[in-house]
């Protein structure tokens, strides 16, 4: 079935429907990649994704983030800055929105600058 360009999901569904065994599509993919491929078989080339590595979607997010260099803790700001009483005092924050589009949001003395 794989040589006919069937995907692991299709193979799993067909086996289940015909009363054979209930095998998860991930099990089929892992078998091809860990047993057949090292043995020299070319079955992995028939997989639709050609054995691309699977990346977890959870955990590790914080490890990928960069640290801010020369970061100043808010406790070390002057009190006048925290209260926003400086003349022409403003702040800016970056924000990632829908479809990974970046926005820069600026505030001047508590008012949004557009």
pLDDT tens-digit map of 14-34:
888 888 778 887 887 777 777
Q: Where are the alpha helices (DSSP H) in the chain?
A: 8-17, 25-31, 61-64, 79-83
Q: Is the pLDDT confidence value at 113 over 60?
A: no
Q: Which residue has the tokens 């091809």?
A: 32
Q: Which residue has the tokens 């069937």?
A: 6
Rounded Cα–Cα distance for residues 26 and 12 (Å):
9
Q: Provide the residue ranges of all domains of the chain, joining segments of one domain with +.
A: 2-46, 73-113
Do 22 and 15 touch, CB atoms closer than 8 A?
Answer: yes
pLDDT for residue 56: 64
Which is more confidently placed, 80 or 15? 15
Q: Is residue 32 classed as helix, strand or coil in its secondary structure?
A: helix
> Where residue 103 falls among pLDDT bands split at 50, 70, 90?
confident
Rounded Cα–Cα distance for residues 72 and 81 (Å):
13
> Where residue 39 falls among pLDDT bands split at 50, 70, 90?
low
């Amino acid at each position: 079935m794989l040589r006919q360009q069937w995907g692991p999901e299709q193979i799993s569904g067909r086996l289940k429907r015909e009363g054979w065994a209930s095998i998860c599509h991930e099990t089929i993919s892992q078998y091809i990649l860990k047993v057949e491929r090292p043995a020299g078989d070319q079955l992995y080339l028939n997989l639709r994704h050609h054995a691309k590595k699977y990346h977890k979607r959870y955990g590790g997010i914080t490890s990928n983030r960069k640290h801010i260099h020369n970061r100043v803790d808010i406790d070390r700001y002057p009190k006048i800055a925290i209260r926003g009483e400086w003349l022409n005092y403003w702040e800016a924050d970056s924000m990632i929105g829908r479809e990974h589009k970046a926005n820069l949001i600026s505030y001047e003395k508590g008012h949004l600058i557009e």
